[in-house]
Amino acid sequence: MINTTIFKICFLLVLIQISSAKWTKPRRLNILKHSSNHIRDDRCRQFKTFTQKVDHFGYVNMDTYQQRYTLNTDYWQSGKPIFFYAGNEGDIDLFCDNTGFMWDIAPLFDAMVVFAEHRYYGQSLPYGNQSYSKPEYTRYLTSGQALADYAYLLDNIRSSIKGAEQSPTVVFGGSYGGMLAAYFRMKYPHVVVGAHAASAPILQMTTPCESFSRIVTQDFQQESPQCVDIIRSSWGAVNRIAIAAGGLRRLSALFKLCRPLQSADELKNWLLDMYGNIAMVDYPYATSFLADLPAFPARVFCANVTASSFDTINDDEDIVRRIVQGTNVFFNYTGHTDCFDTGSQGSPSLGDLGWSYQSCSEFVMPMCSDGVNDMFEKQDWDFQAFSDMCFAAWSVRPRLEWPYIEYGGKNVTDLRYYSNIAFTNGNLDPWSSGGLRVTVAPTLPAILVTGGAHHLDLRAANKADPPSVLQVRQQIVALIETWIS
Amino acid sequence: MINTTIFKICFLLVLIQISSAKWTKPRRLNILKHSSNHIRDDRCRQFKTFTQKVDHFGYVNMDTYQQRYTLNTDYWQSGKPIFFYAGNEGDIDLFCDNTGFMWDIAPLFDAMVVFAEHRYYGQSLPYGNQSYSKPEYTRYLTSGQALADYAYLLDNIRSSIKGAEQSPTVVFGGSYGGMLAAYFRMKYPHVVVGAHAASAPILQMTTPCESFSRIVTQDFQQESPQCVDIIRSSWGAVNRIAIAAGGLRRLSALFKLCRPLQSADELKNWLLDMYGNIAMVDYPYATSFLADLPAFPARVFCANVTASSFDTINDDEDIVRRIVQGTNVFFNYTGHTDCFDTGSQGSPSLGDLGWSYQSCSEFVMPMCSDGVNDMFEKQDWDFQAFSDMCFAAWSVRPRLEWPYIEYGGKNVTDLRYYSNIAFTNGNLDPWSSGGLRVTVAPTLPAILVTGGAHHLDLRAANKADPPSVLQVRQQIVALIETWIS
């Protein structure tokens, strides 16, 4: 995701400031996008808006904005629960479309289903198209403001819908939305009775920076050790081809890129993101997130990469051709793509802008690779370079300590006073590196989804689901029953 | 407190806008002040400072300020608890001097004792003497920012003092500080294991507006029904004298005022505040808060008022003279005061400025009197007039719903998910009208202090303490033992 819009904005600057061996990119948690041929749920097209204060924490700025949300009462009965999705970094209908679990279990509970869009994403832009134009506008993009939005929205729903006044509310979320679901229950237990926080990397800010890369590597390793060897050797192959005369043109042609490469780093970062994304969406059935993908995309990727025997030992071009065969799985499984854009892996630009800002302020998630225990080139984490990039791009610098001051987790046992939060993490999910994977209190169960990629448990039931995720969903249903009783 | 500095600032405006029958004054919770002859505790003179961010909830304003606090380790042993006072609207040494309970029990727990000054009070002024000069500076005066200050300060203490890393912290506070103690545990249970919230009117924002006046009246009524009758009839007497030729001069002379009255309202508001303050400090022993006061000041006040038999029925001047005899108890018990200032009931002006701002933003506490069930003139609560005054003074308008959105209490049973907060309220304390007086969960005990005025339980042990407060303090000690275990 090196080439998101914000990186385009400060691209030259970044090129000047940062060596290729320093990791300064914010990693995107959200891997959803609108896919053209995805069947979209009509229940997610019924938008409402609610007038929110832009600044909940002060009284000087009296501006308001329209927060978008969806509200469905198909299954709801008066007094029965509200299921509330704490929207994360993207259009709310994306999450509404891809959180089938809530829809699956709503009839069991006669529940109302609400999906709330996060401020500064989708159409919930406090200052319209200018929302990202200057620090005076971006300053209200924080998790705390978003949580206050959710509290106000729920207060409004409860007081305006007859029969909802006493409806207990359960909050759900995946990825950053899972962090918000957990934080919402932590900070507003008088508003939500419990939370299902799926694949929520609430500890990612201090997790060893190589953890993410290691899990990605493990996912490919379990499919094919040979595949991992080829990926590991591909970086050198790319480097050697790139420095040869006409090498970048050759690489651009091999990868069928729409625009010629400006550097080998451009290609390598695009590939790096792809590996992370494949690990995140390594679901046991075909999906349509970043692109239309087969079931077990890591397996198919590796099958493509290892399909033919090595023609020549140490043939750089052969290695690269194998990787190209792999990328076709991720970027062109349907065969409809003529060329690939290294500047695009998914979501609309505003979503990326927002996450760039948030990872430059509250949620710095250090990333690196050691090149030994993972299949990547060695890349160090350079906080200072990252911070400098943030200041150049947004006129802000990260505050590393803040999430732990505000929400806890510096010492995980200190979280024991929170309650009614189910933390679920899949062992295939690289973001599980920052998940809460120890149960620190009986009412804060940490649940492992064996065979689960990024918030698999939040997705709609599927015949191909592993037994573990069925059990986890039953567990969540049982927990909700205790929370609302 | 009509004549606090802020009211001086907008005095003409207020006179024009507001009729005397509309209550638009913010009532001050804090009745502490520096008294010249009070013996001050040296442990409260050892100040430290900690660098805080002015804005914890955004990243644009990178200003910092020096927060003042006291830290005492006389009784502390490594690993043992930290007792933390959540400073409220005034100089921190005032609270340090007047919270003897913490000092009394610190040796029992080998506890460190910390008193943290609230931003914008005392010397913890984010923009120095300019802190109240414009909205861009006042905007960071909120309870949320203050709580984040406390969380950062504690994090710093824990990480910088060897042996304090794992020290469980118990937070204490009285009045607004009691609200903050409760809120601190509510919002930061990963930081503080429990809270003693004394006389914390967390529900005052929606308590019926006449409740405060009724409790004040009850306090005087239990001392002397005749006293209450005289007070009730005094308002008419003052009004009739005031409108007669030379009446204001006459009243000024009777009350020995330092400056001639500008209106009868000026006098009546001064008296109104006094009755509230007497009820708040109606302790069973002599104290030195607003002034040097005898034990049971309401009793002494009424004894003075009713000392002589009525000379003439309906003699307005006789009634006023009786009230003057009463005011001497409150304002001149030592006999050293030559004249009285209706513009002063206590704290330094900055404290009043701060509370004026806070009651104009987060903490609107409606006050009224019905003139039937209380001993005051009928005064309505006029939110719009109050809000207009706030806008004129501070360029902000109150947000009535915010404390309940943020901290809960709109429906008190929704507080049941919080834990380890002891809410104590004295039945003599008019602020108990907004206290949590029902136990909504086993770990949120609501404890009544029979015979207790404003946070009597937080004061140092005294031979004259009623048995009830001794029991309450034992109960708090037992609770702390469970919290830290």
The pLDDT tens digits for B160-193 are 999 999 999 999 999 999 999 999 999 999 999 9
Contact residues, chain B, for A126 at CB < 8 Å? none
* Contact criterion met (CB < 8 Å) for A397 and B59: yes
Q: Residue B177: which residues within 8 A CB-CB, separation 6 or more?
A: B85, B86, B87, B88, B95, B118, B200
Nearest to A66 by CA among A83, A84, A52: A52
Q: Is A318 on the interface with B (CB under 8 A)?
A: no
Cβ contacts of A189 on chain B, cutoff 8 Å: 408, 417-418
- Cα dihedral A284, A287, A292, A293 in deg (nearest 10): -10
> How far apart (Å, rounded) are the C-alpha atoms in residues B257 and B249?
10
CB contact under 8 A, B187 and A189: no
Mean pLDDT lowest for which of A159-173, A283-297, B372-386?
A: A283-297
Whether the CB of B128 is below 8 Å from some CB of chain A: the reply is: no
Q: State yes or no: pLDDT of B348 exceeds 70.
A: no
How many CA atoms within 13 Å lie on the side-chain side of B352?
21
Beta carbons within 10 angstroms of residue A376's beta carbon = 25
Spacing of C-alpha B211 from chain mean position: 16
Cβ pair B169, B157 in contact under 8 A: no
Is B175 tagged catalytic?
A: yes
Lowest mean pLDDT among A211-215, B339-343, B428-432: B339-343
Chain A neighbors of B399, CB-CB under 8 A: 53, 59
Query: Which tens digit of pLDDT belongs to each residue from B321-341?
Result: 999 999 887 777 666 777 888
Q: Average of pLDDT values for B398-410?
A: 96
From A359, which residue of chain B is nearest by alpha-carbon distance?
B59
Greater model confidence, B38 or A47: A47
Contact A58 B139 (CB under 8 A): yes
Q: Tell me the C-alpha to C-alpha distance, in Å, between residue B381 and each of A137, A361, B184, B366.
A: 37, 43, 30, 6
- Judge whether residue A22 has pLDDT over 70: no
Marked catalytic residue, from A429, A432, A455, A465: A429
pLDDT at A11 over 90: no
A282 belongs to the catalytic site: no
Of A396, A399, A409, the CB nearest to B60: A396
Least Cα separation, residue A393 to chain B (angstroms): 13
Answer whether residue A2 shows pLDDT above 80: no
Of B53, B395, B408, the CB nearest to A190: B408
Q: Do A189 and B418 touch (CB under 8 A)?
A: yes
pLDDT single digits (tens) B48-61: 999 999 999 999 99
Asked if pLDDT for residue B23 goes beyond 80, the answer is: no
Confidence class for position A352, pLDDT limits 50, 70, 90: confident
Domains of chain A: 5-35+213-349+369-379 (1.20.120.980), 42-206+402-484 (3.40.50.1820)
Distance from C-alpha of A199 to C-alpha of A176, rounded to nearest angstrom: 8
- Better pLDDT: A310 or A389: A389
Judged against a pLDDT cut of 90, whether residue B310 lies above it is answered with no
Cβ-contact A396, B394 below 8 angstroms: no
> A409 and chain B: CB distance < 8 Å anywhere?
yes
Average pLDDT over residues B3-11: 32
Which chain A residues are closer than 8 Å to B401 by Cβ?
A: 155
Which residues in B lie closer than 8 A to residue A139 (C-beta atoms)?
58-60
Total residues found in chain B within this entry = 485
**Cβ-contact B413, B432 below 8 angstroms:** no
Please tell me if residue B313 touches chain A, with a CB cutoff of 8 Å.
Answer: no
Size of interface A-B (CB pairs under 8 A): 90
Range with the poorest average pLDDT among A422-431, B8-17, B290-299: B8-17
Q: What's the confidence (pLDDT) of residue A363?
A: 96
pLDDT at B13 over 80: no
User: Does the interface ipTM go beyond 0.85?
Assistant: yes
Of B190, B410, B414, the CB nearest to A414: B190
pLDDT reported for residue B339: 83
DSSP single-letter state for residue B247: H
A182 in contact with chain B, both atoms CB, cutoff 8 A: no
Write out chain B residues lying below 8 Å of A188, CB-based: 408
Query: Catalytic: which of A118, A196, A454, A455?
Result: A454
* Neighbour count for residue A8 (Cβ, 10 Å): 13
CB atoms within 10 A of CB B85: 27
- Pick from A93-102, B138-147, B328-337, B368-377: least confident: B328-337
Q: B308 pLDDT band (50/70/90 cuts)?
A: confident
Give the gyration radius of chain B's Cα atoms.
22
Query: In the prediction, which pLDDT does A288 show?
Result: 75
pLDDT at A62: 95
Please report the pLDDT score of residue A53 as a whole number. Answer: 98
Residue B244: CB atoms within 10 A of its CB come to: 11
A405 to B151: CB separation less than 8 angstroms, yes or no:
yes
For residue B221, pLDDT beyond 50: yes
In contact, B56 and B321? CB cutoff 8 Å? no
Does A59 contact B190 at a Cβ distance shorter than 8 Å?
no
Is the model's pLDDT at A42 over the cut of 80? yes
Nearest to B414 among A56, A144, A190 (CB): A190
- Is B465 one of the catalytic residues? no
Facing B60 at nearest CB: one of A139, A152, A189: A139
pLDDT tens track for B438-463: 999 999 999 999 999 999 999 999 99
Q: What is the pLDDT of residues A251-308, one digit of tens each?
A: 999 999 999 999 999 999 999 999 999 999 999 999 876 567 899 999 999 999 998 7
Per-residue pLDDT, A296: 95
Maximum average pLDDT range among A67-81, A330-344, B287-301: A67-81
Least CB–CB distance from B135: residue in A60, A396, A405? A60
Interface test with A, best of B59, B356, B359, B360 (most A CBs within 10 A): B59
Please tell me which of the candidates B135, B151, B405 has its beta carbon nearest to residue A155. Answer: B405
Q: Is the pLDDT confidence value at A23 over 70? A: no
A441 touching chain B per CB within 8 A: no
Backbone angles phi, psi at B262, to 5 degrees: -95, -25
Distance CA B16, CA B172 (A): 42
The span from the CA of A233 to the CA of A247, in Å, is 17
Task: Please name the residues between 324 and 363 in chain A that touch chain B, using a CB distance below 8 Å.
Answer: 361
